[in-house]
Amino acid sequence: MVRRTLNLIILCFFFCAVYLINLPNLQAISGGVKVSPLSRKRPLVIAIVPKSLDNPVFVDAKETAELAARKQNVQLEWVAPFKVDPDAQVKVVEGLIWRKVDGIAISCSDPEKMRKVIARAVAANIKVATIDADCPDSKRIFYCGTDNYKAGYACGEAMVRIVAQKGLENQVLPTAILTGGITAHNLNERIRGFKEAAAGKIKLKYTATLACDDDTATGAKVVESYIKGHPETRAFYFSGGWAFFGPTESMPLYKKWCDNGGLAVSMDTFYPVIQAAQEGFAQVLVGQDFRKMGEYTVNYLVCAIKGLPVPNQYIDTGLEIADHSNFGQLLKQKKPWEMK
């Protein structure tokens, strides 16, 4: 009898202990207390969603984002459609909302399609930022990346200088533009900046805006095809360096066009783009700092999740200007790409 009573007392103490240990969780379920992300045992989960997985421009951002995540003890996921596909990108983000990750950073292929899904993520208490390509007028906390209008404007100023140096200010110059996705806000801002910088200073006649959906092979093919059909083209603006990511041997018509006096300015100062420019494929390049994008995005998204202040809604990662005076120096500082 005494033993039975003792067993009952021990059992009661056990259930009381279990109840007290789980009291915060029970209160959280009932809405009494919200559990802070800092009080749980599993690491924070952050997902970065680039426009596509086949675009090598994000290699540097991925590397620094992973390093920042390790330092912050954060689990980082890198998820996206393989090719640029705005609808598929929306579905990727919807999947992350369903899984209740803690933070998402998106390089938006189509802001119009992404705006509503960002609102749904925020309503689900997920912290959302944008990286590389913004989604204006959305509920994202901050954008981390290039001031794309400023980058395009710098490209336009470079074209004005080149035209002036050639003594062609008074000539009408048929001009083509290569972009990635037609709906991408970052690329459209670059084109807007380029046109406004050149307006009234030189006579560029815009004859075509070509799209390659951020694809290297498509970019080279589109440019080759356009030059073949429009040899009268005098200038080219590349809002991204996709056409130059692969071997320059794939663009013989464009190379001949350059050798015959074609004028070209391009975004991006990645290793293969500088190599192509050194061979005469562009006179000036304007680059972005993807390493800063990856690092800053992870660090500030963690701050937002933990309730710490983020310095600004727009985190500028700066620009890099390259021309024949520093192509060689920049190649020594950058890593070659292994294109497969």
Please report, for the domain that includes residue 261, its CATH number.
Answer: 3.40.50.2300
Nearest partner of 158 among 294, 21, 325, judged by Cα: 325
Residues 300 and 207 in one domain: no
Give the chain's domain count.
Answer: 2
| 121: in domain | yes
What average pLDDT score do residues 132-154 get? 96
| 220: in domain | yes
* Predicted local confidence at residue 99, as pLDDT: 96
Arithmetic mean of pLDDT over the chain: 89
Neighbours of 217 (CB within 10 A): 14
When mean pLDDT is compared across 11-20, 66-75, 308-317, the lowest value belongs to: 11-20
Residues 239 and 170 in one domain: yes
Sheet containing strand 45-49, edge to edge, reads 75-78, 45-49, 103-106, 127-131, 143-145, 314-316
What average pLDDT score do residues 273-277 get? 97
Q: Identify the domain containing residue 122 by its residue range.
A: 37-146+290-309
| 71: in domain | yes
Whether 5 has a pLDDT exceeding 70, the answer reads no
| 13: in domain | no
Q: Max Cα separation, the chain? A: 110
Residues 196 and 328 in one domain: yes
* Residue 263, beta-bridge partner list: 235
Nearest partner of 201 among 151, 239, 152, 156, judged by Cα: 156
| 11: in domain | no
Cα 305 off chain centre by: 21
Encode pLDDT of 236-250 as tens digits: 999 999 999 999 999
Q: In this structure, are residues 199 and 175 in contact, taking their beta carbons and an 8 Å threshold?
A: no
Residues 229 and 325 in one domain: yes
Nearest partner of 276 among 330, 228, 234, 316, judged by Cα: 330
| 166: in domain | yes
Encode pLDDT of 158-195 as tens digits: 999 999 999 999 999 999 999 999 999 999 999 999 99
Residues 132 and 70 in one domain: yes
